Amino acid sequence: MAPIAVGDVIPDGTLAYFDEQDQLQQASVHSLAAGKKVIIFGVPGAFTPTCSVKHVPGFIEKAGELKSKGIDEILLVSVNDPFVMKAWAKTYPDNKDVKFLADGSATYTHALGLELDLSEKGLGTRSRRFALLVDDLKVKVANVEAGGEFTVSSADDILKAI
């Protein structure tokens, strides 16, 4: 399947997360993004160095600026179970705006065409690193990294594109 691209409508899919009352929830991507301007960004894995030190903190730090430019939601997707995503989210106590969403079986990642086979490193199927700017379900910007790079999918890269 071809990777998601500018002009495409994002596929629907179900992702899991823990709400403010610490209850496990399921949400459709379309319910989170329909009629809104959202950023969906994906990382290869929770607690991994580039994801934890650079990618996620960038979106947390720039959330106010992104919201001031009309962004309604900032959605982080990773191929991890919801319990791992909950534990990872707790390592960012200042986060108020980035929603940590679990794609445990990589079903949604496959629907986006952004899967990455890291079996040789013992990690199985993961997500490529990416950032999408989506307006009412339609992709306006699709910044997808090659390999293990972190050159086009940062919060700053999305800010430049808005």
Any idea what the CATH number is for the domain that residue 154 is in? 3.40.30.10
Residue 43 in domain: yes
Q: What is the pLDDT of residues 72-108, one digit of tens each?
A: 999 999 999 999 999 999 999 999 999 999 999 999 9
pLDDT at 140 exceeding the cut of 90: yes
pLDDT at 54 exceeding the cut of 90: no
pTM score, whole prediction: 0.94
Pairing verdict, β 138-144 and 37-43: unpaired
Residue 111 in domain: yes
CA dihedral (111, 99, 156, 146) in degrees, to 10, reads -30
Give the N- to C-terminal CA distance of the chain in Å, as an integer: 27
The enclosing H or E element of 111 equals helix 107-112
The answer to whether residue 51 is catalytic is yes
Looking at 4, 51, 76, 132, which residue is catalytic? 51
Band of the pLDDT at 149, cuts 50, 70, 90?
confident
Residue 10 in domain: no
**Summary mean pLDDT of the chain:** 93
Residue 9 in domain: no
Residue 92 in domain: yes
The percentage of the chain sitting over the pLDDT mark of 70, rounded to a whole number, equals 99
The whole domain housing 83 covers 36-161
| Matching residue, tokens 């290869």 | 44
Collapsed DSSP state (helix, strand, coil) of residue 64: helix
Residue 4 in domain: no
pLDDT at 50 exceeding the cut of 90: no
Number of domains in the chain: 1
**What integer pLDDT is reported at residue 45 of this predicted model?**
86
